[in-house]
């Protein structure tokens, strides 16, 4: 006997919701998923009417679902938002070039404007060129730091009030776990926040409307809605550490589906003891972007690339910042250390 949808009791159930275990028909699942995102947006007051919002769009499932749902809810509930797709081209042949084609199709499908900013135009380096110099061990450090700044620069060009990103519940839970394992208190405190205010000039507030959406449900939503998205992994994706956290979380989820939300709640409820030293935010002496050191991470990484010293921005070399700024030459020993690359 076919199982009936536990919500409408009229149609046949086609799926079991990973988050709740309820058997639902397609339409009731769509409605439940969309309403939960709407509730998240309303409860956290993520947007104000009249705001212009950049949707970080990579062509992957998360950002494609985000763009689709943001457009739909903006119309259904008259949020009054002006939406634009904002993409970063890291310059990864065989990956980002293809996924950007997906974003361009999404732009047509959703009738939203699209802005693409590229590492090449912003930094003079593509990820292909960076990997040639730094190898496959630290490439994601470069990519992650550059992406964060690239999104801000794109948002400033577009003059949007906010950026929303497709981070889902699994991403947030993984990040909580990683920050606990690394003892990174400052990041642990920030990573569960659903929205961040501007931390200074050049930093655009960000929010995560899919913060409570399970990855499995995003995949189901994209699949049943037949959304056009790109599902190939980045060809330079080692990111082993996140991979372990991910596998661990998936194991927990298979035993107890609520584990993902439980980890997020644990992260949200951790409080930091008074007196724990937090990095003080200032601005980069070179580019003016926020930084807790004399130079921002992006400028140090870039300096390392341009000087053929790829390890300059990897690890802690803060004491070299003044030398970089004053263009004082490095000692032979320092140069040797910063050149070594493990491929
Ligand atoms: Fe960049 Fe690493 Fe992500 Fe590839 S896997 S897009 S190199 S951060
Ligand atoms: Zn800088």
- Cα separation of 152 and 150, whole Å? 5
Q: What angle do CA 245, 246, 252 make, to 5 degrees?
A: 90
Per-residue DSSP letters for 182-197? Answer: HT-HHHHHHHT-SEE-
Quote the ligand 2 centre to 61 CA distance (angstroms).
32
Question: Which protein residue's CA is at the shortest distance from atom 6 of ligand 1?
Answer: 234
Per-residue pLDDT tens, the chain, 343 aa: give them.
789 999 999 999 999 999 889 999 999 999 999 999 999 999 999 999 999 999 999 999 999 999 999 999 999 999 999 999 999 999 999 999 999 999 999 999 999 999 999 999 999 999 999 999 988 888 999 999 999 999 999 999 999 999 999 999 999 999 999 999 988 888 888 899 999 887 777 789 999 999 999 999 999 999 999 999 998 889 898 766 788 899 999 999 999 999 999 999 999 998 777 777 777 888 888 888 888 888 888 998 998 899 888 788 777 666 777 777 777 777 887 777 777 655 4
237 lines ligand 1 (CB under 6 A): yes
Question: Which protein residue's CA is at the shortest distance from atom 5 of ligand 1?
Answer: 237
Counting ligand 1 atoms within 8 A of each CB, the residue from 96, 97, 127 with the most, and so the one to mutate, is 127
Quote the ligand 1 centre to 92 CA distance (angstroms).
9
Ligand 2 ion: nearby residues, β-carbon < 5 Å: 284, 286-287, 289, 296, 299
For the purposes of burial, counting CB atoms within 10 Å of the CB of 173, is it exposed (0-12), middle (13-18) or buried (19 or more)? buried
143 lines ligand 1 (CB under 6 A): yes
- Cα separation of 202 and 195, whole Å? 17
The pTM of the full predicted model, rounded to 2 decimals, is 0.91
99 lines ligand 1 (CB under 6 A): no
Q: Please state at what angle helix 297-307 crosses helix 127-134, rounded to 10 degrees.
A: 70
Quote the ligand 1 centre to 250 CA distance (angstroms).
21
Quote the ligand 1 centre to 134 CA distance (angstroms).
13
Q: Which helix (H) or strand (E) holds 207?
A: strand 206-207
- Ligand nearest the Cα of residue 294 is 2
């Amino acid at each position: 006997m076919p199982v009936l949808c536990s919500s409408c009791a009229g149609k046949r159930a086609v799926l079991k919701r990973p988050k709740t275990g309820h058997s639902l028909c397609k339409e009731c699942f769509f409605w439940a998923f969309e309403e939960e995102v709407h509730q998240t947006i309303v409860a956290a007051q993520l947007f104000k009417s009249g705001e212009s919002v950049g949707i970080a769009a990579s062509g992957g499932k998360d950002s494609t679902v985000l763009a689709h749902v943001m457009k739909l809810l903006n119309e259904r509930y008259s949020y009054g938002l002006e939406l634009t797709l904002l993409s970063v081209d890291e310059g990864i042949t065989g990956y980002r070039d293809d996924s950007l084609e997906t974003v361009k199709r999404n732009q047509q499908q959703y009738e939203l404007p699209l802005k693409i900013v590229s590492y090449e135009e912003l930094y003079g380096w593509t990820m292909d060129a960076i990997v040639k110099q730094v190898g496959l061990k630290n490439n994601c450090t470069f990519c992650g730091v550059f992406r964060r700044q690239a999104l801000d620069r794109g948002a400033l060009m577009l003059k949007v009030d906010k950026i929303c990103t497709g981070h889902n519940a699994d991403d947030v839970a993984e990040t909580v776990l990683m920050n606990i394992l690394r003892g990174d208190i400052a990041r642990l405190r920030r990573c569960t926040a659903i929205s961040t205010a501007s931390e200074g000039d050049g930093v655009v507030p960000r929010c995560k409307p899919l913060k409570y959406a399970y990855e499995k449900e995003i995949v189901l939503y994209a699949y049943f809605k037949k959304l056009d998205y790109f599902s190939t992994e980045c060809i330079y994706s080692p990111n082993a550490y996140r991979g372990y956290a991910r596998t661990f979380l998936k194991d927990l989820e298979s035993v107890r589906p609520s584990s993902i939300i439980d980890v997020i709640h644990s992260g949200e409820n951790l409080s930091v003891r008074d007196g724990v030293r937090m990095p003080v935010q200032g601005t980069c002496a070179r580019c003016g972007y926020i930084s807790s050191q004399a130079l921002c991470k992006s400028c140090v990484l870039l300096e390392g690339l341009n000087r053929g010293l790829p390890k300059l921005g990897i690890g802690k070399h803060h004491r070299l910042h003044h030398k970089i700024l004053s263009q004082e030459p490095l000692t032979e020993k320092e140069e040797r250390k910063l050149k070594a690359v493990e491929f």
